[in-house]
Amino acid sequence: KKHKKKKKKKKRRRCAMNYRELLTKAKSTNRKGSGLRQHIREVLSEVPKEVRNELQGQPIGVWTRFLKLALTEKYESHRNDKNLYCKIRTNLISWPGAFEVSSEGVRYLGW
């Protein structure tokens, strides 16, 4: 009789980080967001009428630059955010109740 060779089981290498543990920690922490949409609403409520008329129908880039400037000026929490421009742009596009984005430009529906 020939003896069957036992296959060696490969040992799983353990990562230095336990991702499952990290994930549960991340889910359990009550992380409060910066409230970007709320801050955008507040900034836009303070815009004077002359500026409102100029902003309506402007391209998305103009809106995003305007909001970025206003938010960094008013709220300290947004000053060090390197992705603020992208976050604002994404919010403008994916916020149908407040903004109407088309090829002609962006219109704020709250005014």
Helix, strand or coil, per DSSP, at residue 35: coil
Q: Yes or no: say if 92 and 60 are a contact pair by the CB < 8 Å rule.
A: yes
DSSP class of residue 11?
P
pLDDT score, position 22: 72
What are the structural domain ranges in the chain?
A: 36-108
pTM of whole model > 0.85?
Answer: no
Q: Whole-number mean pLDDT of the chain?
A: 84
Digit-coded pLDDT (tens) for 35-48: 899 999 999 999 99
**Which residue carries 């980080």 as its tokens?**
17
Cβ–Cβ contacts within 10 Å for residue 19, how many?
8
The CA distance from 71 to 39, in Å, is: 7
Encoded amino acid at 72, one letter: T
